[in-house]
Structure 1
Amino acid sequence: MNAFMLRGSLLLAALSLLAACSKAAPPPEPLRPVLTTVLGASADSGSGIYSGEVRSRYETPLGFRIPGKIAARLVDAGALVKAGDVLARLDPADTALSAAAAEAQLELAVADNRRYRELRGKNFVSQAALDAKETTFKAALAQADLARNQSSYTVLRADQAGVVELVAAEVGQVVAAGQTVLRLARTDTLEVAVAIPETRMPEVRLLKSAEVSLWADEQARFKGVLRELSPVADALTRTYAARVSILNPDARVLLGMTANVKFLSDKTGATAKSRLSVPLTAIFQQEGKPALWIVGADQTVSLRPVAVAAYGETTATLDSGANAGERIVVAGVHKLSAGEKIKAVDQAAAQ
C-alpha cells in the first residue's frame, strides 16, 4: 500500500512538472505613454503675450458748457468729423432772450454814460456820479459779452478731427453743463490697452519695443512701443494698465479690435540672452527645488535640476539646467521614476 501511494505521488509530481513546462511565459507590460515636448529657445520677453483692445490715445468726452434741451444731433456713432464741424445744438430760445436783455441794458448804459459826460463837461454833475455811470457801462458791456458767448455755447463743435465713438444723449433730452453728449476719438493715435500681471512687471519695465498682431487678421502685424505703464495696480484685477502705441497702422486697424501684444527684448543689448520657456506642468519639485524629466535617446527618463528665472501664468522661464532640442516630460511628472522606460508622445502631435 505504501509503495502504491509513493508511485501515485511521483506520478502527480511528474504531471505537474509537465503542465508547468507547457505553460507560456506572461507577456511584458506595455510601455507607459507620456506626453513630451522638445525644448526650443525663445527670447527672454517672448513668453509674455498679452491680449488687449485697440483704443485711441485721445478720447475726448464732449458736452455743452451751459445747461439746456438738445434740439438737434447731427452725427451718429461712427461718423468721421473734422475740426469745427457742428455735432449738436441746444434750444437757443432762453439764451436768445438773455442776449437781448443784455443788449438792452448795454444800450441804456451807453446812453447814460454819454449824457453824464456831457453834464460833467458843463459841471452839472460830480465826478463821482460820472464814475458810477462808467462802472455801470463796463458791467453792462461785460454782461452783453457773456450773453453772446452763452448763445454760441448752444452749438457743440468738434475740437479736432476724429470719429464719434459714443453717443450719450438724444434729441429732446435736457442735459446739465459739462454732461457728456458725445465722445470723440482721434484715429491717428491708435494704441493697444493691455493689463500686465504683477509677476511680469519687472521684465516689462525693462522693455520698450513690441509687436502688435490683430486677432481678426493674423497676417496683420505692426511694430509698437510701450508708451505708458501705470505705477499702481488696479484694485479689482491686481494688474497694471499699460498702453502700447502702434507705429504706422494701416486701414486694417480699427478702434475696438482685439489685438495681441508681444514685448521684444533688445537684441543689440549686452544683457540680452536666449532663454527657454517650459510649461508649468513640466516642473517637478525635488526636495523643494525645481527639476525636469529629460527623455533620453533610449526612451528612459532622468531627473535633472534646473534654475527658474521667472514664473508666469502658464509657463516658466529657465535660467539654466536644460538645453534647446532636448525632450522633456510635460504631463504626469509625479508618476515617473528615474530610469523608467516610457513611450514618448509628442504634445504637438497629440493636439
Structure 2
Amino acid sequence: MRTLVRTSKLSAAMLAFAALAGLSGCSSKAAAPEAPRNALVAHPQAADALNAEVYSGDVHARFESQLGFRVNGKIKTRLVDVGNHVEAGQVLAELDPLDLKLQVASANANLSSARANRDLAQSEFDRYRPLLDKHFISQTQFDTVSNTLKAAQAQLQQAQAAFAVAQNQAEYTSLRADHAGVITAINAEAGQVVSAGQAVAMLARDGSLEVEIAVPENRIGAYSVGTPVAIESWADAGKQLAGHLREISPEADHTTRTYRVRVSFDDTALAPRLGQTARVYFVDANTTAQILIPLAALYELGGKPAVWVVDAKTHQVRLAPVSVAAYREQGVTISGGVSAQDWIVTAGVHKLREGQAIAPIDALNRAIAL
C-alpha cells in the first residue's frame, strides 16, 4: 500500500515537472524576435506627367550643316566616316585637282598676256605724250593711245581677278569642316562626280542639342517660345531632364499638317546622344510639386491621411501625415508630407505598426535593396 502511495506521488511530481517544462518552452518561443514580414514598397511618382501632353521626337544638334564642294569635279578620296568627330578646318574629302590646275595655268597665261598688252600700251602712251606737247601729233591721235592704255589696264585687272578665282577654285578641291562637330551622314563616295553645292556630308555642330517634335495645329496655340518642358530619353526611361521650347515653325507641314517645334536642353551635358528618341512633356505648372501614390498606400491616423515611410537603413516603418490634393483614377495626388525619393509601403498598410521592421519587395515579389 505504501509502495502505491509513493508511486503516485512520484508520478504527480513528474507531471508537474513536465508541465513546468512545457510552460518554459512556450515562454521562450514567445520571447523570440518576430521575423520581418514582406511588404510591397515603391517610390511615389511625380504627378506632373498626369496632365502633361507628351510628344515624341529625335535628338538633333541645334546647328546642322550640309557640306558640299564649291566647284564641280570627281571625288578623289573621302577621309571621314559617319560618326567621326572632326575639328574646324579638317579635310573631309578631296576632288581630283587636274582640271582646276589647268584652269589656273590658263588664267595665269591670260594674265601674262594682259600684262604684256598693258606694258605695250603704257610705252605707246609715254612715247606719244611728248609728241603732243611739241604739237607733232594731233589731240585725236593722243586720245586714241590714251584709251588703248585704259583698255589694257582694265583687261589686266580682269585677268588678275580671273586668276584669283582660278586659284581659289583650285583650293576648293578640299572639302573642309567649317565647325567642330560630328559627321552624321555621307552622301557621296570616292569616284563619284558631284556638282557645286551638292550635299556630300552632314555635320552636326558641337554645342547645343535639341529635340525636334511635331505639334498638331489644334494645339500649337497653347505653346510659346520659352515654355518649360520635361524631356525623357526612351533609352533612359524615368530620368527627366529640364528644357524649354526654343523655336516654333511659322508654317505647318503641307503633308502632316503639324508644326515643327524645337526644344532645347537646359543642361547639354546631360542630354542624350544624337539621333536618340526622346519624349517631351509639356507640364501643367499647378502639378509640378505634387506626387502620386497608390490608393492602397493611404492610411488613416487620427482621422487624417498618412502613409507608412520605410527607413532605408533599418527597414523600419513610421507613419508620416500627408496632404491629399486630389483623388484620381490612377491613385492619390499628394501635395506634402513625403517626397518622390522616399520609400513607402503600397499594400497591406493596415497590418503594420510603428517601428515594425519589414522585408521590402517589389511588385514581382523580388527583394529590394533600399
What TM-score does the superposition give when structure 1 sets the normalisation length? 0.62
Choose the corresponding residue for 1:60, options 65, 68, 78. 65
Paired residues in the alignment total 242
Q: Map 1:82-161 onto structure 2 (within 5 A).
A: 82-123=87-128, 126-161=145-180
Superposition pairs of residues 132-281 of structure 1, within 5 angstroms: 132-205=151-224, 208-250=227-269, 253-266=272-285
Post-superposition offset of 1:89: 0.8
How many Å apart are 1:56 and its aligned residue? Answer: 1.2
Shift of 1:195: 1.4
Preserved contact between residue 52 and residue 283 of structure 2 (Cα < 8 Å): no
Indicate the larger mover: 109-118 or 180-189: 109-118
Question: What letter is aligned with 1:77?
Answer: V
Secondary structure (helix, strand or coil) at the match of 1:253 reads coil
Q: Which residue of 1 aligns with 2:326?
A: 324
Q: Do the aligned partners of residues 199 and 43 (structure 1) sit closer, same or farther apart at CA in structure 2, a change above 3 Å counting? A: farther
- Report the Cα offset of residue 188 of structure 1: 1.1
Q: Unpaired runs of 5+ in structure 1?
A: 1-39, 276-322, 329-348
Deviation string for 1:34-76 (max 9, x for gaps)?
A: xxxxxx9955984201111101111110111111100011111
Preserved contact between residue 233 and residue 239 of structure 1 (Cα < 8 Å): yes
How many Å separate the matches in 2 of 1:143 and 1:47?
A: 62
**SS, match of residue 77 in structure 2:** strand
SS at match of 1:232: coil
Question: Hey, which bits of structure 1, 4+ residues long, moved more than 3 A?
Answer: 40-46, 272-275
User: Which letter maps to 1:163?
Assistant: V
1:82, distance to aligned residue in structure 2 (A): 1.0
Q: Cα 1:324–1:98, aligned 2, differ >3 Å: closer, same or farther?
A: same
TM-score (norm 2): 0.59
- What is the deviation of 1:246? 1.0
Structure 2: gaps (5+ residues): 1-44, 130-141, 291-324, 331-362, 364-370
* Structure 1 residue 80, shift from structure 2 partner: 0.5
Q: Deviations over 1:176-214 (max 9, x none)?
A: 111100011113121001111334334334870011111
Which of 67, 71, 76 is the aligned partner of 1:71? 76
Asked whether the 8 Å contact 2:181–2:205 carries over to 1, the reply is yes
1:327 positional shift:
5.7
AA in 2 matched with 1:160: H
CA distance in 1: counterparts of 2:187 and 2:260, whole angstroms: 26
Identity among equivalent positions (%) equals 41
2:139 maps to which residue?
A: none
Which residue of structure 2 aligns with residue 340 of structure 1? none
Aligned partner letter, 1:169: A
CA distance in 2, matches of 1:98, 1:53: 45
More helix by share: 2
Residues of 2 paired with 1:326 and 1:261: CA distance? Answer: 23
Q: Secondary structure at the match of 1:110?
A: helix
In 2 relative to 1, CA 47–220 (structure 1 residues): closer, same or farther, beyond 3 Å?
A: closer
Contact 2:64 2:203 in 1 (8 A): yes
> RMSD between aligned alpha carbons?
3.1
Shift of 1:274: 10
**Structure 1's 273 and 199: CA in aligned 2 closer, same or farther, altered over 3 A?**
farther
State the 1:324 CA deviation. 2.2
